[in-house]
Amino acid sequence: MSKKIDTSSTDVSSKSGPPEIIGRAVTVIGEEIDGDALLVIVEDTEPEVEAPEGDAATPKAVKRRKIVITDSIDFGDELEDARSIQDEAIPVIKDFMSQASNGSIDDVDAAKAIVEKVVSSIFRNQDSMLSLIRVKNEEQYTIGHSLNVAVMAIAIGRQMGFSKEKVKLLGLSAIFHDVGRVLVPEALLKKSGPLTDEEFSAVKKHTSLGSELLGKCSALPEEVAKVAAEHHERYDARGYELGLEGRDIALFARVVAIADVYDAATTNLPYGETLKQADAVKFIYDRGGKQFDKRILEKFLKCLGVYPIGSFVRLSTGQAALVRGQNRSNLLRPKVLVLFDKEGLRYHRTFDFDLLQEEDKHVVSAIDSSEFKVNVDEYLV
């Protein structure tokens, strides 16, 4: 009997300038900060291999290299394109969800095209697309949730040093991950009170139902169905439906699991408490090594920051501020726009603080954005 040893990730070329990531295998061994750019340090290993049970794959010709992960254009310059992609994605997701509700998915070309656009946007500037996942539509939760999870998964994949093609496959898997929900009675998904054991068992079946449906679509790679089946598995084997543990859970499913929980936790749903963005980040991070893969959580944190863009924070001065950017070298000290004084009165003139430079100021806590009547979009650029 043999097992698969997963050493898959990516390699980089040795060309000058930001290296082009290509599809060979590497192991991520560390990170460095160069200015505001993240450098991922990797070691070359062999591609995925078959090995006898109990044996380990031995890397050959180890070479250390760095993948430069930085943005090619400014946040504001990419934001308009990101919004357009978001608007374009909603009807596409509605369409394949409608196909799924009728028992099959036959046309996935539009979904693949949307994923490719999201990947391109995030590779240009990840924060622009990520800033839009705070926009929620509880009435069409499954639609928006599918896109938000895909956006986060793609950003995490980029931070993990995956090749662009591998990130696209991850994004495709993520956008279809919850398709099985349309095969569960809507009354159960919208029930405001606690579910009975029987009802919860019915809801949990959305993973196997979705996986079975996606597995029948010849136009989708097998990884897509696998993520649908495994995105509720947990690192400590306390997930469902298969009871998988640790790295027995598919890598893409481990990524999607984190994005899935974050988006659900920050959405006002009939069941469960809605968390502020920063509280949701902490909630998930605290479960690293238990429910979630800690290595992937580090990349998740690199993507969203401790205080995600578009969230509100209280400063040590008592003022309330909107988070407008991250400092990758210190995620506890974001770039903020001060909008309210310590009494809660709105300033006639706003002003920016880069908390990395303002050593006498720091974030005290996250604030619920519903406390303020502010159109966040007006201030993000």
Task: Please tell me what DSSP assigns to residue 51.
Answer: E
- Assign residue 235 the CATH number of its domain: 1.10.3210.10
Do 192 and 335 belong together in one domain?
Answer: no
Residue 333 and residue 237 share a domain: no
Q: What is the pLDDT of residue 156?
A: 96
- Per-residue model confidence as pLDDT tens digits over 191-217: 888 899 999 999 999 999 999 999 999
Q: Which residue has the higher pLDDT, 16 or 368?
A: 368
Q: Give the integer Cα–Cα distance in Å for 157 and 173.
A: 12
Instruction: Give the domain-ending residue among 253, 287, 304.
Output: 304
In terms of domains, do 247 and 283 share one?
Answer: yes
Q: Are 169 and 272 in contact (CB under 8 A)?
A: no
Structure tokens given for 30: 């560390």
Locate 293 and state its tokens: 């893969």
Q: How confident is the model at residue 15 (pLDDT cuts 50, 70, 90)?
A: very low
Number of domains in the chain: 3
Q: What is the DSSP letter of 26?
A: E
283 and 317 share one domain: no
Cα angle 236-169-16, degrees, rounded to a multiple of 5 = 105
Residue 340: CB atoms within 10 A of its CB come to 21
Let me know whether 194 and 316 are in one domain: no
Residues 290 and 347 both lie in one domain: no
| Contact between residue 173 and residue 162 where contact means Cβ atoms under 8 Å apart | no
pLDDT at residue 380, rounded to an integer: 83
User: In 3-state terms, what secondary structure has residue 228?
Assistant: helix
Q: Is the CB of residue 312 less than 8 Å from the CB of residue 368?
A: yes
| Rounded Cα gap, residues 278 and 237, in angstroms | 26
Tokens standing for 16? 């000058």
The reported pLDDT for the residue numbered 232 is: 98
Q: Do 232 and 318 fall within a single domain?
A: no
CA distances from 53 to 9, 56, 247, 324 (A): 22, 9, 15, 50
Domain boundary among 54, 69, 84: 69
225: nearest Cα among 246, 202, 253? 253
DSSP helix/strand/coil, 28: strand
Structural domain containing residue 282: 75-304
Domain boundary among 69, 86, 117: 69
Tokens of 47: 């591609």
Residue 143: what residue type?
A: I
282 exposure class (CB count in 10 Å sphere: 0-12, 13-18, 19+):
middle
Q: What CA dihedral angle connects 135, 375, 285 and 201, to 10 degrees?
A: -30
Predicted confidence (pLDDT) at residue 339 exceeds the cutoff of 50: yes
* Percent of the chain predicted with pLDDT > 70: 81
Looking at the fold, whether 266 and 330 belong to one and the same domain comes out as no
The confidence score (pLDDT) of residue 28 equals: 52
Residue 219 has pLDDT above 60, yes or no: yes
What's the token pair of residue 42?
């990797």
Contacts of 242 (CB under 8 A, 6+ apart): 229, 230, 233
Q: Are residues 102 and 193 in the same domain?
A: yes
pLDDT per residue as tens digits for the range 35-87:
445 555 555 444 333 333 334 444 445 555 566 677 889 998 999 999 999 99
Same domain, 105 and 27: no
pLDDT confidence of residue 8: 29
28-39 CB burial, b ≥16 within 10 A, e <16: beebeeeeeebb
Give the type of residue at 333.
Answer: R
Per-residue pLDDT tens for 351-381? 999 999 999 999 999 998 878 888 888 888 7
CA distance 233 to 196: 21
**CB-hemisphere CA count at 13 Å for 70?**
17
* Pair (255, 171) in one structural domain: yes
Say yes or no: 293 and 339 in one domain.
no
